[in-house]
Amino acid sequence: MGMFDEIIVPRSYLVGILDKKDKKLFDTQHKFQTKDLDTILGGGLDLYKLYRGRLSKRCRPGKWEKTTVTGDINLYDSFLTKDGDECWFEFEFKFINGKIDSKKLVDKTVTNKESREAIDVMWNIEQEIFDEYRKKWSYKFWIRVERFCQKITVMARNRHLIPYHIRKQAYKTSGRSADNPDCLKWYQDI
C-alpha cells in the first residue's frame, strides 16, 4: 500500500456503523491504515490511537500526544477471516480539533473463499499470457527506451532545481522564513 500511518481504533467505536456480525471481525484494539494524516499533519509511518473520543499521536513508546486535527480521515483495512473470506472495510471519521465529530462506513467488501480462489486462477492465467508477451524483443526494447528517457528526465530535473542555499537566502531576504520557520523543510534534501 505504500507509506501510511496507522490508527488504533477500539472496536466499541464501530458500534452503530456495523452490525454485530461484522463488528466481531475486528480486534478489540484494531489497527487501521490511513494516508490522510500524512497530508494533514505531515510526516508518515506514525502511530495514532483513538481514546476517549480524541485522536492522539505516539511521540515515543508509551507517550501519546493529543492532536488538533480537523478534517475527514479515511481508515481502512483488509484481512482474512477464520473461514478464509477476504474482507475490506473503509470508514470515514470526521474530527474537529482532535475530537470525533462523526463516523460512517464508506465501503465494505467481503469476498468468500471460493470466489477469491476463482479470481486467483483467473489472475494466474492472465499473468501467463502477459509474461509470454513480455518475452518479445520489441517489448524489452521499449522498456529499455522508457528507462533511458526516465534517467534523462531525472538528470534534467536535477540540473534546473534551485539549490537549497539559494532558496534559503531568497526566503530569508523576502521575510518568508521569519513568518514561517518551516518553509524550507520540504527542500532540505535537495
Could you report the per-residue pLDDT of 45-90, keeping only the tens digit for each?
Answer: 889 999 999 999 998 888 999 999 999 999 999 999 888 889 999 9
Residue 119 in domain = no
Number of domains in the chain: 2
- Within a domain: residue 131? no
How far apart CA 10 and CA 31 sit, in angstroms, is 9
What percentage of the chain carries pLDDT values higher than 70?
Answer: 94
Looking at the structure, tell me whether residues 26 and 64 fall in a common domain. yes
Q: Is position 148 within any domain?
A: yes
Highest averaged pLDDT of the listed ranges 82-86, 126-130, 167-171: 126-130
* CA 81 from centre of chain: 23
The answer to whether residues 83 and 144 belong to one domain is no
Task: Tell me the three cell numbers of residue 172.
Answer: 530569508
Is 105 part of a structural domain of the chain? yes
CA distance 9 to 26: 10
Cα-Cα end-to-end distance for the chain: 26
Chain segment 18-36, per-residue pLDDT in tens: 998 899 899 899 999 998 8
Domain that holds residue 82: 5-113
**Residue 62: its pLDDT value, please?**
85
State residue 130's pLDDT score.
97
The x, y and z cell numbers of residue 136, run together, are 518479445
Do 88 and 162 reside in the same domain of the chain? no
Q: 94 and 46, same structural domain?
A: yes
Question: What's the rounded mean pLDDT across residues 183-187?
Answer: 82
Clarify whether residues 145 and 98 are in a common domain. Answer: no
Assess whether 106 and 160 both reside in one domain.
no
Query: Do 48 and 106 share a domain, yes or no?
Result: yes
User: Residues 108-127: pLDDT tens digits?
Assistant: 998 898 998 999 999 999 99
85 in the same domain as 148: no
Write down the pLDDT at residue 66.
Answer: 94
C-alpha cell at 81: 477471516
pLDDT confidence of residue 2: 52
Instruction: Please say which residue of 80, 113, 146 terminates a domain.
Output: 113
Whether pLDDT at 150 is above 60: yes
Same structural domain, 105 and 150: no
pLDDT, residue 113, reads: 87
Residue 176 and residue 82 in one domain: no
Query: Do 108 and 62 share a domain, yes or no?
Result: yes
The reply to whether 23 and 109 lie within a common domain is yes
Instruction: Please report the pLDDT score of residue 42 as a whole number.
Output: 62
Q: Is the pLDDT of residue 1 over 50?
A: no
How many angstroms separate the CA atoms of 30 and 78, rounded?
12
